[in-house]
Amino acid sequence: MKKLSLSLLLAFPFFASAQTLQVRNNVIDLGQVQFMQPVTATFDVKNISNAPIEISSMYSGCNCTQVGFPVGVIPAGTDFKVSATYDSKQLGHFQRDVAIYVKDQKEPTYVTVKGIVVPKVENFVGNYPYSIGGLLTDANIIEFDDVNRGERPVQDIHIMNPNNQFVEPVLMHLPNYLRAEISPKRLGPKKEGVIHIMLNSSKMKSLGLSQASIYLSKGMGDKVSEDKEIMVSTVLLPPEPRLDEASLYRSPRIQLSSTTVDLSNIKGNKKKAEILITNKGKSPLEIRSMQLFTPGIEITLAKQKLNAGESTKMKITGYAQDLSRVKTRPRILMITNDPRKQKVIIEIKK
């Protein structure tokens, strides 16, 4: 049976309460694990007390995890290893906490092994066109579109370590509605991993567009800088109205002369365009908010409330110098009270 042995280092060691054991990394993420192929995580431990010790037992609380530890006296200052082998007999995520008991001490030291058991281990086969924070990635932006309150979508960024030494990737400055898991936590030279970015829409305050800059680094302690930036955009939709056919017939109905604006080939510093907005419905149309995904665009709208049959012009100005620097796709977001089109996106070609 195939076994995978990992020995990882942490910048900040984990200490037992009695200052007896020091574990260089008390959590090992094994990443993808093949179904029915047991895997082993090996932990580097040191006796940091001034006296010899003995490991009396290790307890995992589950027959699915077998443990291994040295038998006999371990002199003061000695490095040694303990292991936890997971049987991989159940598909899905797993996390097992293992207690290490030192003879004559009540409080154990805990280590954790986790990962995900999959039917088939699949390696990422795409490209890594971006260099962010000393790592190579397949994306430099994350977009959560059409999110309803309460949903928790997940998006992945695949990463590769191009360096000749181990790195421990970290994401910095996540807002409270975002959470990230990096697997594995420690990447060897030329090895690949994945970042799972999870959105908790229940923690978002505002409808419409929210944007945040998060920063990817190859280790703790790095400073925030532009070369580490990943843009995250979220569009949180209003609650979907439940209307009968009669109410739907009487509702407002937005119509745009175009949902694409060409601001390319700007001569001089700026270029202008117009879009005609018409209410084709039976009741007043409200354009409740307008937001821009990027700088470099200016919009004006004469009226944000249109009676049935009424029209207005949206004037759009693009600024060449600013548009040339944006990383993401320039767009305009409108939130309306049209039950068929609560969200309207106008694409900007630059």
Average pLDDT over residues 251-279: 92
Looking at the domain assignment, is residue 142 inside a domain? yes
3-state helix, strand, coil in the chain (%, to 5): 5, 50, 45
Q: For a pLDDT cut of 90, what percent of the chain falls above it?
A: 63
Q: For a pLDDT cut of 70, what percent of the chain falls above it?
A: 94
Looking at residue 319, what is its pLDDT? 92
Q: Which of 236, 271, 292 is the last residue of a domain?
A: 236
Average pLDDT over residues 157-179: 93
Looking at residue 146, what is its pLDDT? 87
* Alpha carbon distance 70, 76 (integer Å): 14
Average pLDDT over residues 85-94: 89
Looking at the domain assignment, is residue 123 inside a domain? no
Decide: residue 58, CB within 10 A, 0-12 exposed, 13-18 middle, 19+ buried.
Answer: buried
Q: What is the largest CA-CA distance in the chain?
A: 88
Q: Which of 183, 204, 236 is the last residue of a domain?
A: 236
Same domain, 228 and 259: no
Structural domain boundaries enclosing 59: 14-118
Looking at the domain assignment, is residue 306 inside a domain? yes
Decide: residue 116, CB within 10 A, 0-12 exposed, 13-18 middle, 19+ buried.
Answer: middle
* Alpha carbon distance 174, 213 (integer Å): 8
Indicate which CATH number applies to the domain containing 345.
2.60.40.10
The count of other CB atoms within 10 Å of the CB of residue 19 is: 10
The answer, yes or no, to whether residue 281 has pLDDT greater than 60, is yes
Average pLDDT over residues 70-80: 95
Looking at the domain assignment, is residue 6 inside a domain? no
The answer, yes or no, to whether residue 226 has pLDDT greater than 60, is yes
Looking at residue 6, what is its pLDDT? 37
Number of domains making up the chain: 3
pTM of the entire structure? 0.64
The answer, yes or no, to whether residue 234 has pLDDT greater than 70, is yes
Average pLDDT over residues 190-196: 89
Looking at the domain assignment, is residue 255 inside a domain? yes
Q: Which two tokens stand for residue 46?
A: 């040191």
Same domain, 185 and 206: yes
Condensed to tens digits (0 to 9), the pLDDT of residues 309-328 reads: 999 999 999 998 898 888 88
Same domain, 74 and 42: yes
274 strand-pairing partners: 315
Same domain, 182 and 97: no
The answer, yes or no, to whether residue 13 has pLDDT greater than 70, is no
The answer, yes or no, to whether residue 17 has pLDDT greater than 80, is no
Looking at residue 211, what is its pLDDT? 94
Same domain, 104 and 143: no
The answer, yes or no, to whether residue 238 has pLDDT greater than 70, is yes
Average pLDDT over residues 166-173: 93
